[in-house]
Structure 1
Amino acid sequence: MSARRALGYRKGRAAVGEDPRKRYPIFPIKGGAPTLAEQRDEVMRLLADESYDGDVAELLQRADTITGEIEQAENRQSRLRALRAASVPAGDPQPQPGNRQQPGMQPDAQGNEHPLTVAEAFVRSAALETFRAGGARGKFAFDHRAAPAGTVTTGTQPRPNTRVPGIIPQNPDFPLLVANLLDRQTSDGTTLEYMRDTSGPQSTWNAAAVVAEGGDKPKTGPFTFDLITTTLKTVAHWVPITRQAADDDSQLMGYINGRLVYGLEYKLDREILTGNGSTQMQGILTTSGIGTYQPASGNTDAKLITVRKAKTQGELAMYAPDAIVMNPLDWQDIELDTDANGQFRVITTVTDSGAPMRIWGLTVVTSVAMTAGTALLGGFRMGATLWERQGITILMTDSHADYFTANTLVILAERRANVAVHTPAAFVKITFAALP
């Protein structure tokens, strides 16, 4: 039987206008269209058949088409095998149901991962996952008291669908920048020992001189140091939150960042300035040996001028000042200071509210912890170090008081830190003259 009969070519005359040379094979139906393997085998058989009298050009075109389809299928299988064998890196954020990423896992506008906040790290932690799954129950010691009326519920903060919300902070949002002025180090223990230079700015800190041959060399000093022994102080607070609200990562992160972490930073700034050094952290203003500057009696220097003269005093003590902390009311007086023509002396334009606050080359930090009418100027990084133990720790439990039966959890945030004011002479406390 000829190859044409084997392929099942139709018999009979061609239709009017039809090229009688164009005859197409009729494949038997076996559950559908022939597979690539069947088409390949058929074309290979026809190419090997020396008696084939069909359209050879068409047969070659079919061979090319089938070859391309086979290569494409092989490439797909190769890519599929590579993807299955690829390992996802540890910590890679996984999408949540509904194509919604867990709050805190979204990259920034440039596609870069941003540093985790305390709340983001907390909601991603394995400890929280274990707690929610019922595999852990923490116990913490707190004084028993009734649940506060301000307990957060899902009704007080509806769950949004398109953005990472959080609970809107109701506390005042003052800048938290005092701690950033200091040198910051990590402590390995709870006891802090350091040497405090009590020599004072008038000490003979450098007696180096040219000495004749055989002459006595001068002695530098005297220097006096005190060994200061103190402990890291714990700053902590907690809030109640319903289990339903805690199960919503958005609300949980908002509450941790908006209330707990902010509260610790707020308190830390104030401890750095005014801590009593015994039951509290060591404040710079309460450390003996810091310099003071106050205009002479009857001197009504403007605050702008007073700051400049106090800066000179700091420089004469051999510690170049780099920043000043003052009450917002005092900074207001300085910014509003005008010359005889009514032009502002400190700011060039009132529309430039985002410009860095600086005066006489000093970084300005405003804080309500600084009493109005006073300011603290100094070389902050040279004069003091903030020692921290582990940073901020977040704890959560359902074992407080009767909160378990009320379906309420407790979230606690704490940190341990203290300030080592090792060079008091690097600071100058300013007392402004009363305005006329």
Structure 2
Amino acid sequence: MYQKKSADDQPQSISEVSAKLSEVMNQVKTFGEDVQKKMQSGENVTLELKQMTDQSLTEMNELKERLTELEQKGARRPGEEPAQRKSLGSLVIESEAYKGMDSSARKSIRVRLERKDIMNVPATTGTGASATNSLVIADRIQGIVAPPERTMTIRDLLIPGNTASNGVEFVQETGFTNNAATVPEGGLKPKSDIQFELKNAPVRTIAHHFKASRQILDDAPGLASYIDGRAQYGLRFKEEQQLLNGDGTGANILGILPQAAEFAPAISVAGATPIDRLRLAVLQAVLAEYPSSGFVLNPIDWAGIELTKDSEGRYIIAQPVNGGVPRIWGLPVVETQAMAQNNFLTGAFNMAAQIFDRTEIEVLLSTENEDDFIRNMVTILAEERLAMAVYRPEAFVTGAVMAAGS
């Protein structure tokens, strides 16, 4: 039986963890294939085999986390502190293009920003000189009470990338017949068959614009707040929906959900709960050769799972007092309202799909429009161009959180 190793018994170097991870992944695959064969032949799957499969999967996820931790430590120099990143609005007002543009100017400027400079920027708050997210104080409540903003997550799950073209072509495996076998001396070697198909992921544009008073150009912190609060968020809001649900028609990105494999559990579990169904979805992804790296759920569905209790009223997953990072079956859980209620998505986000940024967030400020001129307004335009390639659709599994009729 598998027993969790102590810290002293754990592999310590990146090479040791990588080797152990490979070994455990092969073990998980073997267990999964054994389960599938038994189900197909009508045999009962023993409790011991189920436990061995679960334990191997748990060890695999722990090793993946350990490998990530070691890689991050190796990339950080001793004593090195992360550089303080500036917000999108701050980068705009400090750019060369912005200098010299004030409320008396009548021209356009274009500022292109790299996503690495604006991702994961902590919000600035407060009342001191460093609090750049508040508008000018004039005997009123500081700042703006804005609508709540959804936490974006899908982009952070996927492989990052860049492209200099208007589309990304990639080869996708569409079929594989494995006829490999032992061959006697002088015997004819069997022929396997593999099919490929050339796929294209076109670069799509996500953009929006809005108006602001020209006087705001004289108020740099106010302009920064305006851009940070609305321009950047609006793009991310739409981007998240496209990456997850885009149908690929017209100017839409072809998202992950329309390409994901339908939930088809390899094991039949009587009265399966949502927790059981998520575990079976992980098994399905493992059998497709790409182990899952996380779940995507609607917040309502995740709340229902966290509130699950045993017969004595104790929470099975949640920790109401101390909280904690949302996880289930050893994998992180991403909550987003871009996912429809009673639906889940799992899969190898960090291996089977990649984002290609063609033009990272670009901001254009213009006062040349005649309507803007007579109304003392300025037009602020924000846009980005990107493509997404899903290399192996069957590496993603989607289905209902609760079975029909439950």
Considering the TM-score relative to the shorter chain, is it more than 0.5?
yes
Match of 2:185 among 213, 217, 223: 213
* 2:149 paired with 1:173: yes
Q: CA offset at residue 305 of structure 1? A: 0.8
Q: CA offset at residue 231 of structure 1? A: 2.1
* 2:321 paired with 1:312: no
Listed one character per residue, the Cα deviations across residues 227-277 of structure 1 (whole Å, up to 9, x for unaligned) are 223421110111111122232121111111111101111111110111011
Q: CA–CA distance in 2 between the matches of 1:410 and 1:301?
A: 54
Stretch of structure 1 that moved more, 171-180 or 254-263: 171-180
* 2:363 paired with 1:391: no
Decide whether the 8 Å contact of 2:103 with 2:218 is kept in 1.
no
Cα 1:401–1:434 change in 2 (3 A) is farther
Cα 1:131–1:225 change in 2 (3 A) is farther
Q: CA–CA distance in 2 between the matches of 1:165 and 1:245?
A: 13
Cα 1:246–1:380 change in 2 (3 A) is same
Higher relative contact order (CA 8 A, sep 6+): 2
Secondary structure at the counterpart of residue 350 of structure 1: coil
Match of 2:97 among 118, 127, 140: 127
Q: CA–CA distance in 2 between the matches of 1:225 and 1:424?
A: 14
Q: CA–CA distance in 1 between the matches of 2:247 and 2:256?
A: 9
* 2:168 paired with 1:192: yes
Q: How does 1:324-343 map to 2 (within 5 A)?
A: 324-343=295-314
Cα 1:304–1:250 change in 2 (3 A) is same
Matched AA of 2:151: P
Listed one character per residue, the Cα deviations across residues 22-42 of structure 1 (whole Å, up to 9, x for unaligned) are xxxxxxxxxxxxxxxxxxxxx
* 2:313 paired with 1:345: no
Q: CA–CA distance in 2 between the matches of 1:168 and 1:381?
A: 37
Q: CA–CA distance in 2 between the matches of 1:272 and 1:292?
A: 20
Cα 1:116–1:209 change in 2 (3 A) is farther
* 2:239 paired with 1:268: yes
Q: CA–CA distance in 1 between the matches of 2:198 and 2:329?
A: 35
Q: CA offset at residue 198 of structure 1? A: 2.5
Aligned residues: 301
What residue is the counterpart of 1:282 in the other structure?
254
RMSD between superposed Cα atoms in Å: 2.8
What residue is the counterpart of 1:50 in the other structure?
none
Matched AA of 1:394: V
Cα 1:111–1:290 change in 2 (3 A) is closer
Structure 2 unmatched runs, 5+: 1-79, 111-125, 135-142
Decide whether the 8 Å contact of 1:323 with 1:365 is kept in 2.
yes
Q: CA–CA distance in 2 between the matches of 1:179 and 1:255?
A: 23
Larger radius of gyration: 1
Q: CA offset at residue 419 of structure 1? A: 1.1
Decide whether the 8 Å contact of 1:299 with 1:433 is kept in 2.
no
Q: CA–CA distance in 2 between the matches of 1:362 and 1:343?
A: 22
Give the TM-score normalised by the residue count of structure 2. 0.68
Q: CA–CA distance in 2 between the matches of 1:373 and 1:294?
A: 17
Cα 1:378–1:213 change in 2 (3 A) is same
Listed one character per residue, the Cα deviations across residues 360-388 of structure 1 (whole Å, up to 9, x for unaligned) are 12221111111111111100122111111
Decide whether the 8 Å contact of 1:397 with 1:409 is kept in 2.
yes
Secondary structure at the counterpart of residue 262 of structure 1: helix
What residue is the counterpart of 2:223 in the other structure?
252
Cα 1:304–1:244 change in 2 (3 A) is same
Secondary structure at the counterpart of residue 223 of structure 1: strand
What residue is the counterpart of 1:234 in the other structure?
205
Match of 2:380 among 411, 420, 426: 411
Match of 1:372 among 321, 341, 347: 341
Q: CA–CA distance in 2 between the matches of 1:359 and 1:374?
A: 16
Q: CA offset at residue 130 of structure 1? A: 3.4
Secondary structure at the counterpart of residue 384 of structure 2: strand
Q: How does 1:13-24 map to 2 (within 5 A)?
A: none
Q: CA–CA distance in 1 between the matches of 2:266 and 2:215?
A: 59
Identity over aligned residues, as a percent? 31
Decide whether the 8 Å contact of 1:198 with 1:424 is kept in 2.
no
